[in-house]
Structure 1
């Protein structure tokens, strides 16, 4: 059974489909949005979407790229009152209190994964506003280990400057989402400390995202 918070955060499938279509049309129309690697999306069952994070718009880009509801664990102020908060709630954002540790976020994520849902997570733990990627936290490794579901790496390009005050007018940059092959967490008996296994897998996820970025940059 879902708890009260889950029920509140669970978007209506009809509303979600309509909003997803509206946002997808908007992204395609104004930002020439395109998705590559859709064949890598699991056809059924729970899984985790793990992507880079440079903008508050990333959850929207990730969400419209998936044919199913993606529940992102986000700071509660992002799901607050106002138009933006309403949109975040409708696309499946799950609020957590600021300062929540990885363990709390993982527990909340597991509730959804065990009900057959899809959860989105940003391994870096927050937005990275500098070039390159941030150091991944252990959370993605812990979540993959405890849930035993595949992790779908994803790279989003083009959202990083859209909300910037320094953004110049003109033709907006194309937004592109690239989806990689699912990754499975496998326990390494040669590694004695779980934290080391979590870190090893978290690094593997970020490396996969980095490979997607490299493929994008060479136009592959």
Structure 2
């Protein structure tokens, strides 16, 4: 058993003892090939929730400060996460993310860059669009619907992959690509919040 598999099973047990987790759309994550998984961000539990809900291992881009904390930094690094410097263009993180996608792995991103304190979807950063345009990865939008209250329902929905053929051919900007991703996440939130 790998460290990732062991950790995933422990976190899954812990989260399912705290919340009623509902997962929809697992079939929308391709079985193979690079996948850019983009989700809204409402809580610190979001990365573990996405990780236990995805049928494939997810490698997250995480803020650099987390890696300065010895214990948690070591754990998430061993789970395949890698640091990104916030508030600036981090070329090393962009290269690392592209390499993950080109290697046929799943890259997890929270395009908003930080948690939304009021639960409302914020504007996405250009990094998500950069990865979508510069790779051939499937781009899967994801919506997390809370709140994270003990024993309450938390929903995670994986939407259908977004067709980036036209945007890639037209050499659209990273900002335009991110806007498309955020619109798809917004549609999922609006659709499933009513259910």
- Output the TM-score relative to the length of structure 1: 0.78
Matched, 1:218 2:194: yes
Report runs of 4+ in structure 1 exceeding 6 Å deviation.
none
Matched, 1:206 2:182: yes
From the two aligned structures, give the one with the greater strand fraction. Answer: 2
Q: Give 1 or 2 for the bigger CA radius of gyration.
A: 1
What is the CA-CA distance between 1:66 and the residue it aligns to? Answer: 1.2
Paired residues in the alignment total 195
What is the CA-CA distance between 1:216 and the residue it aligns to? Answer: 1.8
The partner residue of 2:136 within 111, 128, 148 is 148
The partner residue of 1:182 within 156, 161, 169 is 161
What is the CA-CA distance between 1:82 and the residue it aligns to? Answer: 4.6
What is the CA-CA distance between 1:129 and the residue it aligns to? Answer: 1.2
Q: What are the residue-to-residue correspondences of 1:107-118 with 2, within 5 Å?
A: 107-118=95-106
Matched, 1:39 2:27: yes
User: Any conservation in 2 of the 1:80–1:86 contact (CA below 8 Å)?
Assistant: no
SS at match of 2:153: coil
Is the deviation greater in 91-100 or in 49-58?
91-100
SS at match of 1:148: coil
Structure 1 gaps, min length 5: 1-12, 163-170
What is the CA-CA distance between 1:190 and the residue it aligns to? Answer: 9.7
* 1:190–1:152 CA distance, 2 compared to 1 (3 A): closer
* 1:190–1:107 CA distance, 2 compared to 1 (3 A): closer
Q: CA RMSD in A?
A: 2.4
What is the CA-CA distance between 1:48 and the residue it aligns to? Answer: 0.6
Q: What are the residue-to-residue correspondences of 1:1-220 with 2, within 5 Å?
A: 14-101=2-89, 103-158=91-146, 171-188=150-167, 194-195=172-173, 198-219=174-195
